Amino acid sequence: MKKIITVLFTALIFLSTNAISKEKYNTIQGYPAGGGTDSSFQSFSNYITKESGTVFDPNYIVGASGLVSMKHFFSSTDPNQLTWVGSGLSIGNFVIYKQPNYNLEDIRPVVLSMNTPLLFVKSPKSSKINSFSELFEKGCNKRIVVSVSGLMHNFVGKILQKTSSCTIVLSIYKGDSAPITDILNGSVDIGILPLLTSQTIVEQKGKILASTASINDADWKQYVNFSKFVPGANIYLEYGLWASKKMSDEKYKSLIDTIKKEWSNKEKRDKKVILPIGYKAKELYGEDYEKFLKENVNDLKKLAIKLNIQK
pTM value is 0.80
Q: What is the pLDDT of residue 299?
A: 72
Is pLDDT at 216 greater than 70 in this prediction?
no
Residue 275 vs residues 117, 132, 267: alpha-carbon distances, Å: 14, 28, 14
Taking each helix axis from N to C terminus, what angle separates 249-263 and 286-306, rounded to the nearest 10 degrees?
Answer: 90
State the Cα angle at 37 between 31 and 40, rounded to 5°.
145
Mean pLDDT computed over 110-138: 91
List pLDDT tens digits, range 36-90. 788 889 999 999 999 999 999 999 988 767 777 888 888 899 999 999 987 665 5
pLDDT at 20: 44
Of 45, 28, 33, 30, residue with least CA distance to 83: 28
Select the more confidently predicted residue: 217 or 179: 179
Q: What is the pLDDT of residue 14?
A: 43
- The pLDDT value recorded for residue 94 is 60
Domains of the chain: 24-115+236-306 (3.40.190.150), 117-228 (3.40.190.10)
85 in Cβ contact with 175 (< 8 Å): no
pLDDT at residue 11 above 50? Answer: no
- Closest to 118 measured CA to CA, from 235, 285, 253: 235
Q: What is the per-residue pLDDT for 22? A: 76
Range in 13-17, 184-188, 196-200 the model is least confident about? 13-17
Of 214, 217, 210, give the one whose Cα is nearest residue 191. Answer: 210
Report pLDDT for 230: 60
Does residue 253 or residue 67 have the better pLDDT? 253
Instruction: Please tell me the predicted confidence (pLDDT) of residue 190.
Output: 97
- Helices 195-203 + 36-52 axis angle, to 10: 120
Predicted pLDDT of residue 18: 42
Q: What percent of the chain has pLDDT over 70?
A: 82
Average pLDDT on 292-301 reads 74
Give the pLDDT score at 171. 96
3-state secondary structure of 282: strand
How crowded is the C-beta side of 66, counted as CA atoms within 13 Å?
Answer: 26
Mean pLDDT of 251-260: 96
Q: Does residue 193 register a pLDDT over 70? A: yes
**In this structure, are residues 75 and 83 in contact, taking their beta carbons and an 8 Å threshold?**
no
- Of residues 33 and 122, more confidently modeled: 122
Mean pLDDT of the chain: 82
**pLDDT number for residue 44:** 94
